Amino acid sequence: MKLICSKSELLKSVNIVMKAVPSKTTMPILQCILIDASANIIKFTSNDMELGIETIVEGSIEEKGIVALDAKIFSEIVRKLPDNDVTIVTDEKQNTTITCEKAKFNIPGQSGEDFSYLPFIEKNEGVQISQFTLKELIRQTIFSIAVNENNKLMTGELFQIANNTLRVVSLDGHRISIRKIPLKNECSDKKVVVPGKTLNEISKILSGETEDMVDIYFAENHILFEFDNTKVVSRLIEGEYFKIDQMLSSDYETKVTLNKKEFLDSIDRATLLVKEGDKKPIIITINDEGMELQIDSQIGSMKEDIDINKMGKDIMIGFNPKFLIDALKVIDDEEIHIYLMNPKAPCFIRDDAGQYVYLILPVNFNSVGR
Amino acid sequence: MKLICSKSELLKSVNIVMKAVPSKTTMPILQCILIDASANIIKFTSNDMELGIETIVEGSIEEKGIVALDAKIFSEIVRKLPDNDVTIVTDEKQNTTITCEKAKFNIPGQSGEDFSYLPFIEKNEGVQISQFTLKELIRQTIFSIAVNENNKLMTGELFQIANNTLRVVSLDGHRISIRKIPLKNECSDKKVVVPGKTLNEISKILSGETEDMVDIYFAENHILFEFDNTKVVSRLIEGEYFKIDQMLSSDYETKVTLNKKEFLDSIDRATLLVKEGDKKPIIITINDEGMELQIDSQIGSMKEDIDINKMGKDIMIGFNPKFLIDALKVIDDEEIHIYLMNPKAPCFIRDDAGQYVYLILPVNFNSVGR
């Protein structure tokens, strides 16, 4: 095999496929990038058996062939090469020479015959959204998937299509994040759970541009994201996702409207008094005077008043400050509405247009002596 | 005590004194910042008993007093406050209230009576250089102090004044770094060893501007750096520094002149084949054709030719690539000269003006089969 590609094109492609190279594996071949120039295009593939990525690399093929190279070493070499044309040559023993200007690297390769190619996904009935939108949907929900694997379904996100609307949901038992966007093209109803890891990795590759599109296709056990010169195929998480609609009550006793940044900054300040692992709640008191935030810990105490617009009953309620911060950080609105029922019931942060809902369960707090 | 200072002034001052707050200590009071407003100025002090910092803070004193506050908590509070005036009030039990806009923090304080003030240094005969120059001198030498404490003198840097020249030297047994600058003012000869930690911390506080000056004063066991509103006092390392002049031979058999960036980039590329802890040397072959760099490791091999201007004998010599990289990174010249004697003798990278010398010992390498 003999290829010539620019360093910048190589670097871009390597960075993309690196996202599906497992850091640990029992199958050493998976720690390679497969360079396939056996046909008329150059294709890089990586596959950790849950997530697989394939990208087409611009360049010229002087001699067809195929080789699997250690992903980490190959990517480091590419990264450090001068900014010029790079020649990759493989001999019959898969020994690979990478030359750029006067620098010449020699590394061993593998035949790639035991490499796992991506599963074939039939492209019928996909949905198309912009890369910006997909990246935003992920960012605005990914923080509330569960980190431990006790309940596999909680480690993924629900991608649900109904009535030409895509709804993305994540939950971890303490909170639920929901984002909705209308779809431009017609699509039949779908309901799949995509691994959080897939979404994290894909979001690093997406351009984030509103003009760049991504096509999403659904298969029995897989989801395919296709954009630019890249295909990302992921396994889905099996099982029936949680019935969240019955948790989304629209009743409330107290409605509060306030400036998001002020609220976020204040909670952020308060949390410096909470050491990691310590479960100090932030106590929110809402009455006709306004909203008071208070936190007490072994380090000290903090109090802050925030201007609000209040409707309904007075309430005193405690929250894990991290959960509030996570949700507030991904809301772009300047002004937000919080809906509360009682100190034992979840609060809802949601917009009037129905684009987002963040449900957060309150925590108990000791109100003795207050 | 009652003070009012702007958040930005507090933050600047806290960041300065934080550099002398020990992360671990057997004397808990040292983990505090002493806020001293007992006279007509506000002064923050920190002291880890080796390094002490004192800085004057702009602000108004409404009620004189003194308090010691946990440095970490105080600095985090200041960092997260809104950008506005901050009021610090301490009651008779040292309970401290920090208020800014509508945010109000309460933290415990200490009387500060067992706090160690900085030692008094008499300011006779100092030298003055720019903050830029001092920062550069440190950056250009600090990397070759020894990391382990087996030989205490190696963990510091020699600051030597002779003939109105300041010479800064560091060495770790494998290499020596020397930088020299002329002094503008007359000064008697001096020879002290300043702890590397002091230099690292001070270099983070220095502005790096050529117009800002720093005054340096020498005492029996201490050195004092005075700049802006800040005093940094450090203990010196006791003992007689190494006699380096006898190691600085100016004889050579081979002189090579080459482009610094090309050489550095090439070594940098080569090192990606060396895993941490692995002691693979880079082999440099110099002959009439030019210079060839080569590295062989379990991962693969790399070879690169570099254009040079050569005078004298051919030579093949091995180096720890890290030592070459460290020195090359801090040399600003586009073109450098390397002086070599034989494969067992140190190489010298030095300029014609005598501003710097970097001595690096070679390593043995197995030349069988080459």
Give residue A367's pLDDT.
Answer: 54
Distance of alpha carbon B365 from the chain centroid? 33
**Closest CA in chain B for residue A96:** B300
pLDDT tier, A276 (very low <50, low <70, confident <90, very high otherwise): confident
CB neighbour class for A290 (10 Å; exposed up to 12, middle 13-18, buried from 19): middle
Taking residues B172-197, report their average pLDDT: 94
Chain A residue set in contact with B, beta carbons under 8 Å: 70, 73, 76-77, 80-82, 102-108, 265-266, 268-269, 272-273, 299-306
More confident residue, A248 or B370: A248
pLDDT for B144 beyond 60? yes
Q: Pick A305's closest partner by Cβ from B73, B102, B268.
A: B102
The ipTM is 0.87
Q: What is the pLDDT of residues A164-193, one digit of tens each?
A: 999 999 999 999 999 999 999 888 999 999
Give residue A369's pLDDT.
Answer: 39
Give residue B269's pLDDT.
Answer: 95
Distance CA A160, CA A177 (A): 14
Which residues on B lie below 8 Å from A300 (Cβ)?
73, 105-108
Taking residues B111-120, report their average pLDDT: 90
Which residues on A lie below 8 Å from B306 (Cβ)?
102
Distance CA B247, CA A160 (A): 74
Percent pLDDT > 90 in chain A is 88
Which residues on B lie below 8 Å from A299 (Cβ)?
73, 107
Distance CA B142, CA B204 (A): 13
pLDDT for B368 beyond 90? no
Distance CA A11, CA B161 (A): 50
Contact A272 B76 (CB under 8 A): yes
Q: What is the pLDDT of residues A329-343, one digit of tens each?
A: 999 999 999 999 999
In chain A, CATH 3.10.150.10 covers 2-107, 127-245, 248-360
Give residue A124's pLDDT.
Answer: 84
What is B319-340 written as a DSSP string?
E-HHHHHHHHHT---SEEEEEE
Range in B64-73, B159-168, B184-193 with the lowest mean pLDDT: B184-193
pLDDT tier, B138 (very low <50, low <70, confident <90, very high otherwise): very high
Q: Pick B266's closest partner by Cβ from A103, A268, A304.
A: A103
Domain A127-245's class?
Answer: alpha beta
pLDDT for A370 beyond 60? no
Handedness of CA B11, B14, B16, B18 (dihedral sign): negative
Distance CA A42, CA B186 (A): 69
- Domain B248-360: CATH superfamily, name plus number: DNA Polymerase III, subunit A, domain 2 (3.10.150.10)
Contact A80 B104 (CB under 8 A): no
Which residue has tokens 């001068």?
A: A82
Tell me what the pLDDT averaged over chain A comes to.
Answer: 95
Tell me what the pLDDT averaged over chain B comes to.
Answer: 95
Alpha-carbon distances, residue A358 vs A313, A346, A361, B80 (angstroms): 21, 10, 10, 25
Contact B108 A304 (CB under 8 A): no
Contact B73 A300 (CB under 8 A): yes
List, in sequence order, every residue forming a beta bridge with B251; answer none if it has no partner. Answer: none
What is A158-179 written as a DSSP string?
EEEEETTEEEEEEE-SSEEEEE
Give residue A255's pLDDT.
Answer: 97
Domain A2-107: CATH architecture, name and number where available: Roll (3.10)
pLDDT for A161 beyond 80? yes
Q: What is the pLDDT of residues A233-245, one digit of tens each?
A: 999 999 999 999 9
pLDDT for B102 beyond 90? yes
B179: three-class secondary structure by DSSP: strand
